């Protein structure tokens, strides 16, 4: 019991905990009395705390009449929810009376009732400012309550607590006195009013629940007077909510597409994206993730650095930086050289440690491709797109300055930063050159490992460069994809499949678009004798094996995607290839192999086996072991026979066209059977040539070979297909 028993004797309360606890007899009594009357179960866990301290954790409520500072209101709301409903309703009623419609009031009460479990902080600001309509406001509060997780609620509570701490100490003393007086009287009145309110609760709930699509007039209104961001954000949330539970929450008569188009519009407005990009992102992510992704793109990823193990150790570096006043932590279990910087009193990019090359500023996602590449000491490594040199220097430190690295970049200005970084970090085994990556195989090939960090649209690093949001469109993506396809083929041609320790290529981009990632990888699988291998990192989302209307090779599962909202690093994609044969698949070579899987379906002829063994013989120079990738690779190569001489831009068609071509291939198979001996000899010559070439480290592209082989077959020509057809007809005639 409190010390104070006489309500009229108001004693000034102290600021401490105890004084708040000892409110006086009337409040204590009131609690007991209301406990008997109320049938409301005490909700403890949903409040975020479970002990009996609900009383002292909130200052006593005060009756609100007229205008009072909103902050007090919100403070009130937040705290009141701990008390019994009747009390809260009463005060809310008072609070809401300031300039609000009675309907809204009803809604608020209703909301209190049902949201007591969910939302403790009804945001007064939102309610007051909202002018877009009752339902929207109601829906806002409703969904606000539903969508917050317990931990988020607790965090919000903490924030509010802090904000109002300052005011509390002043207001509390005065207010508490008032409230104590009022409470006793009010309590009795409330209980009667409550029953009425409960009836209205149900009715209002139904109204509030429905998220209404704006009709034509409202749209027009919006275009004249744009909505404020808060409203749009709420609308987005509601919309997503409805779309996730479409069957239950939809408005009768409205199509899903209407909801989606509204959502698109709102997302574009709220996050400042252009339409194209939002559509692409909607294809990539489920709606719940989409909002997370967009939110994550608004804030920067944490600054990370990589210790240069050529000059120092992570431990020592961390110590030195802490002494300078930098707040840091190791990056994670997956990296032994990474450190994440939380804050720093000195510029991280200008400390003497940085200048002496003990660390490098590098994004966490940039560690991944080099870790995937895992270069060994003494190897010959190529970094095709090396600017500004972070990955190159990481490769060098993993190789401990042995072997040799060729760091290439097409942009001469950016190469300066590579030079700077290479020298600063004390890397001595690097040659830096300025070639177009697509021409690289002509310059030098036979590398043990190649890293290709392809130039891309940058949709994964929107947090770093917000201009991407509005500047990218279909043409940009296609251009990037085309360039990446050319680069990846050059990169593959630069790898030496015979390498004793390597034969690997890592392809990575800082983009999340399927056109630039999985599609390019799939293209490479079809065009060259490569296969995908596991990356060696145990986290990250698997790449897509199918996307919209496209179907990719099943091994695409081995690639990895990283997202800002799920991994807290820039959006990234990593794929690791192993080249198993230096032979460049050509039209002829492809045909034989394709025949194996596809023709069996069509002709069911047992003659396929010999062709397969042919292929085996041919690839004796390369790794004959793995044919998994080959049928795929050659499958599409066979398709090439049908679409010959379609240089460059076009991919082998997927989907329905594929089936059609497969059928045609079936026909050509029979021809192939007849031509097998001829093909075989051609292949043998090719194989022997390849072997000879592989003797020397620096091979020129086997363009000449290709021509010779095809010419030998006698099937090359401008209008190859017509020729084929004629031949078939001839055969049929025979």
Contacts of 206 (CB under 8 A, 6+ apart): none
Contacts of 203 (CB under 8 A, 6+ apart): none
Can you read off the two tokens belonging to residue 91? 């005060």
Please select the residue that binds other proteins; options are 5, 229, 431, 674, rule is CB under 8 A.
431
Please check if 93 is assigned to a binding site.
no
Angle, vertex CA 565, rays to CA 562 and CA 569, nearest 5: 50
Q: Which residue has the tokens 């291939």?
A: 665
Size of the site for other proteins (CB under 8 A): 34
Please check if 409 is assigned to a binding site.
yes
- Yes or no: say if 448 and 579 are a contact pair by the CB < 8 Å rule: no
Can you read off the two tokens belonging to residue 569? 């690093």
Nearer to other proteins, 423 or 617 (CB): 423
Please select the residue that binds other proteins; options are 433, 601, 620, 674, rule is CB under 8 A.
433
Least Å from the CB of residue 268 to other proteins: 39
DSSP SS3 for 565: helix
Can you read off the two tokens belonging to residue 599? 């023709």
Residue 654 C-alpha from the chain's centroid: 26
229 lines the binding site for other proteins (CB under 8 A): no
Please check if 499 is assigned to a binding site.
no
Here's the x/- map for other proteins, 675-704, by CB under 8 A: it reads as -----------------------x------
Least Å from the CB of residue 380 to other proteins: 7
Where does 557-628 have alpha helices with state H?
A: 564-567, 587-594, 600-602, 608-618
Nearer to other proteins, 286 or 420 (CB): 420
Nearer to other proteins, 362 or 429 (CB): 429
d(C-alpha 243, C-alpha 247), whole Å: 8
Least Å from the CB of residue 432 to other proteins: 4
376 lines the binding site for other proteins (CB under 8 A): no
Least Å from the CB of residue 217 to other proteins: 59
Nearer to other proteins, 304 or 430 (CB): 430
Here's the x/- map for other proteins, 324-353, by CB under 8 A: it reads as -------------------------xx-xx
Least Å from the CB of residue 369 to other proteins: 22
Least Å from the CB of residue 402 to other proteins: 8
361 lines the binding site for other proteins (CB under 8 A): no
- Yes or no: say if 622 and 616 are a contact pair by the CB < 8 Å rule: no
Residue 428 C-alpha from the chain's centroid: 37
Please check if 386 is assigned to a binding site.
yes
184 lines the binding site for other proteins (CB under 8 A): no
395 lines the binding site for other proteins (CB under 8 A): no
What's the sign of the alpha-carbon dihedral 668, 674, 680, 685?
A: negative
Here's the x/- map for other proteins, 262-301, by CB under 8 A: it reads as ----------------------------------------
Least Å from the CB of residue 421 to other proteins: 8
216 lines the binding site for other proteins (CB under 8 A): no
450 lines the binding site for other proteins (CB under 8 A): no
Nearer to other proteins, 410 or 558 (CB): 410
670 lines the binding site for other proteins (CB under 8 A): no
DSSP 635-654: HHHHHHHHTTT--SSPPPP-
Nearer to other proteins, 19 or 358 (CB): 358
Nearer to other proteins, 347 or 625 (CB): 347
What's the sign of the alpha-carbon dihedral 243, 244, 245, 246?
A: positive
Please select the residue that binds other proteins; options are 184, 214, 332, 426, rule is CB under 8 A.
426
- Nearest CA-CA partner of 638 in 621, 619, 663: 663
- DSSP H or E run through 176: helix 150-209
Least Å from the CB of residue 250 to other proteins: 59
d(C-alpha 600, C-alpha 589), whole Å: 18
Can you read off the two tokens belonging to residue 50? 């479970």
Please select the residue that binds other proteins; options are 337, 340, 380, 530, rule is CB under 8 A.
380
Nearer to other proteins, 414 or 482 (CB): 414
Nearer to other proteins, 432 or 477 (CB): 432
d(C-alpha 346, C-alpha 403), whole Å: 36
d(C-alpha 320, C-alpha 399), whole Å: 25
Nearer to other proteins, 59 or 388 (CB): 388
Can you read off the two tokens belonging to residue 278? 């939002």
Nearer to other proteins, 131 or 402 (CB): 402
What's the sign of the alpha-carbon dihedral 20, 22, 26, 28?
A: positive
Here's the x/- map for other proteins, 406-425, by CB under 8 A: it reads as x-----x--xxxxxx-xxx-
Q: Rounded to a whole number, what is the distance in angstroms from the first to the last CA of the chain?
A: 112
- Nearest CA-CA partner of 454 in 475, 484, 428, 478: 484
435 lines the binding site for other proteins (CB under 8 A): yes
Please check if 161 is assigned to a binding site.
no
Look at strands 380-383 and 449-453 and give their pairing: parallel
Q: Catalytic annotation on 433?
A: no
- Nearest CA-CA partner of 382 in 448, 320, 327, 434: 448
Where does 440-579 have alpha helices with state H?
A: 440-443, 468-471, 474-494, 518-527, 564-567
360 lines the binding site for other proteins (CB under 8 A): no
The catalytic position among 268, 456, 508, 510 is 510
Least Å from the CB of residue 384 to other proteins: 14
3-state secondary structure 330-368: EEECCEEEEEEEEEECCCHHHCHHHHCCCEEECCHHHHH
444 lines the binding site for other proteins (CB under 8 A): yes
443 lines the binding site for other proteins (CB under 8 A): yes
- Which parts of 17-56 interact with other proteins (CB under 8 A)? none
Least Å from the CB of residue 324 to other proteins: 10
Please check if 385 is assigned to a binding site.
yes
Least Å from the CB of residue 318 to other proteins: 14
d(C-alpha 715, C-alpha 587), whole Å: 10
430 lines the binding site for other proteins (CB under 8 A): yes
428 lines the binding site for other proteins (CB under 8 A): yes
d(C-alpha 579, C-alpha 676), whole Å: 26
DSSP SS3 for 111: helix
Please select the residue that binds other proteins; options are 203, 355, 601, 659, rule is CB under 8 A.
355
Least Å from the CB of residue 491 to other proteins: 17
Angle, vertex CA 19, rays to CA 13 and CA 22, nearest 5: 110
DSSP SS3 for 396: helix
Please check if 391 is assigned to a binding site.
yes
Nearer to other proteins, 40 or 433 (CB): 433
Residue 200 C-alpha from the chain's centroid: 44
- Nearest CA-CA partner of 111 in 74, 142, 73: 142
- Dihedrals phi, psi of 572, to nearest 5 degrees: -150, 160
Please check if 389 is assigned to a binding site.
yes
- By the criterion CB under 8 A, which residues form the site for other proteins? 320, 349-350, 352-353, 355-358, 380, 404, 406, 412, 415-420, 422-424, 426, 428-435, 443-444, 698
Q: Which residues are annotated as a binding site for S-adenosyl-L-methionine?
A: 385-391, 409, 436, 453
Q: Which residues are annotated as a binding site?
A: 385-391, 409, 436, 453
* Residues labelled as active-site residues: 510
């Amino acid at each position: 019991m409190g010390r104070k028993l006489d309500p009229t004797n108001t004693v000034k309360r102290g600021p401490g905990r105890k004084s708040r606890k000892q409110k006086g007899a009337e409040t204590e009594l009131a609690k007991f009395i209301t406990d008997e009357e109320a049938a409301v179960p005490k909700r403890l866990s949903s409040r975020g705390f479970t002990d009996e301290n609900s009383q002292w954790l909130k200052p006593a409520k005060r009756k609100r009449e007229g205008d009072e500072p909103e902050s007090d209101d919100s403070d009130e709301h937040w705290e009141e929810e701990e008390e019994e409903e009747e009390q809260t309703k009463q005060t809310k009623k008072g609070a809401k009376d300031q300039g609000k419609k009675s309907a809204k009031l009803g809604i608020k009460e209703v909301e209190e009732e049902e949201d007591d479990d969910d939302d403790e902080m009804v945001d007064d600001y939102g309610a007051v400012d909202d002018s877009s309509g009752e339902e929207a406001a109601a829906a806002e509060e409703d969904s606000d309550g539903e969508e917050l997780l317990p931990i988020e609620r607790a965090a919000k509570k903490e924030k509010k607590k802090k904000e109002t701490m300052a005011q509390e100490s002043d207001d509390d003393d005065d207010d508490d006195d008032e409230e104590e007086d009022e409470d006793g009287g009010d309590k009795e009145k409330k209980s009667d009013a409550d029953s009425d309110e409960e009836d209205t609760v149900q009715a209002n709930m139904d109204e509030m629940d429905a998220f209404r699509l704006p009709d034509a007039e409202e749209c027009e209104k919006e275009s004249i007077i744009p909505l404020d961001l808060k409203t749009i954000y709420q609308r987005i949330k509601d919309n997503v909510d409805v779309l996730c539970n479409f069957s239950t929450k939809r408005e009768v008569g409205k199509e899903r597409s209407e909801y989606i188009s509204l959502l698109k519009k709102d997302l574009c407005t709220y996050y400042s994206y252009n339409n194209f990009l939002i559509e692409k992102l909607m294809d990539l992510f489920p709606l719940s993730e989409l909002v997370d992704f967009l939110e994550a793109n608004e804030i920067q990823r944490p600054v990370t650095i990589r210790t240069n193990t050529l000059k120092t150790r992570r431990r020592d570096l961390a110590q030195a930086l802490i002494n300078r006043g930098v707040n840091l932590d190791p990056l994670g279990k997956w990296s032994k050289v990474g450190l994440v910087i939380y804050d720093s009193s000195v510029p991280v990019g200008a400390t003497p440690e940085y200048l002496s090359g003990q660390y490098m500023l590098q994004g966490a996602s940039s560690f991944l491709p080099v870790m995937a590449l895992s270069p060994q000491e003494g190897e010959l490594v190529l970094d095709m797109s090396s600017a500004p040199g972070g990955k190159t220097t990481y490769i060098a430190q993993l190789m401990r300055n042995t072997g040799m690295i060729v760091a290439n970049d097409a942009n001469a200005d950016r190469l300066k930063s590579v030079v700077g970084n290479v020298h600063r970090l004390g890397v001595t085994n690097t040659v830096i050159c300025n070639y177009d990556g697509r021409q690289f195989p002509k310059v030098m090939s036979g590398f043990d490992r190649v890293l290709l960090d392809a130039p891309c649209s940058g949709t994964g690093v929107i947090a770093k460069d917000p201009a991407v949001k509005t500047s990218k469109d279909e043409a940009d993506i296609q251009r990037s994809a085309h360039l990446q396809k050319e680069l990846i083929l050059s990169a593959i041609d630069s790898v030496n499949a015979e390498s004793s320790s390597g034969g690997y290529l890592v392809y990575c981009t800082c983009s999340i678009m399927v056109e630039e990632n999985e599609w390019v990888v799939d293209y490479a699988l079809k065009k060259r004798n490569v296969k995908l291998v596991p990356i060696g990192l145990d986290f990250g989302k698997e790449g897509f094996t199918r996307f919209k209307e496209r179907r990719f090779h099943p091994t695409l599962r081995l690639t990895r995607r990283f997202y800002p909202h799920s991994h807290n690093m820039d959006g990234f994609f990593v794929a690791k290839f192993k080249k198993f044969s230096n032979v460049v698949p050509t039209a002829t070579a492809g045909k034989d192999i394709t025949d194996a899987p596809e023709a069996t379906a069509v002709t069911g002829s047992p003659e396929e086996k010999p062709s397969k063994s042919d292929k085996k013989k041919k690839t004796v120079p390369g790794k004959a072991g793995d044919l998994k990738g080959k049928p795929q690779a050659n499958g599409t190569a066979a398709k090439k026979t049908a679409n010959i001489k379609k240089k460059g831009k076009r991919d082998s068609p997927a989907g329905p066209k594929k089936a059609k071509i497969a059928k045609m291939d079936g026909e050509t198979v029979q021809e192939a059977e007849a031509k097998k001996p001829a093909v075989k000899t051609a292949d043998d010559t090719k194989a022997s040539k390849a072997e000879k070439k592989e003797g020397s480290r620096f091979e020129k592209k086997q363009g000449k070979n290709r021509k010779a082989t095809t010419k030998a077959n006698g099937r090359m020509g401008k209008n190859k297909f017509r020729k084929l057809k004629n031949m078939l007809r001839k055969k049929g005639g025979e």
